[in-house]
Amino acid sequence: MRASPRCGARTRNGETCRAPALRGKARCRMHGGAWGSGAPFGNGNAFKHGYFTGEAIEERQFVRAVLEEAEDLLRRLPAAAEAIRSPHERETEYRAPGTDSSPSHLAIDNK
């Protein structure tokens, strides 16, 4: 009995288990060497969500690239629109008939 191989699993206190390993196994009956120990086959808790599949990663990269291009285009639009407009258009703002001020969604920001 003393010459039999030991389990070797780490216990809660950090030492190795001193129980003898089962015949043909590396662990004792308490640490997974017994038949039927471990998770059941078809474990429902091991459901995979697919977040890290190649297809999902590729899709996120594509969306990120499209968003970066759109942001870049939006950053360049006001400068390009300002260069295209004539000096007369820059001085005048649209005013709705019968009002003293321009609608807020049509106001031009001169930042």
Domain boundaries, the chain: 1-34, 51-94
Is 28 buried (19+), middle (13-18) or exposed (0-12) by CB count in 10 A? buried
Phi first, then psi, for residue 75 (nearest 5°) are -65, -35
Cβ 47 vs Cβ 54: under 8 Å? no
pLDDT in tens, 4-60: 899 888 888 999 999 998 888 888 888 887 777 766 677 677 677 889 899 999 999
Ranked by mean pLDDT, the top range of 24-28, 30-34, 75-79, 104-108 is 24-28
Tokens of residue 49, six digits: 């969500």
Single pTM value for the model: 0.37
| Residues 94, 69: Cα–Cα separation, whole Å | 30
How many other C-beta atoms can be found within 10 angstroms of the C-beta atom of residue 4?
A: 10
Q: Decide which of 97 and 31 is more confident.
A: 31
pLDDT at residue 78 in the model = 73
| Residues 11, 6: Cα–Cα separation, whole Å | 13
Cβ 31 vs Cβ 9: under 8 Å? yes
pLDDT at residue 80 in the model = 64
Band of residue 86 on the pLDDT scale cut at 50, 70, 90: low
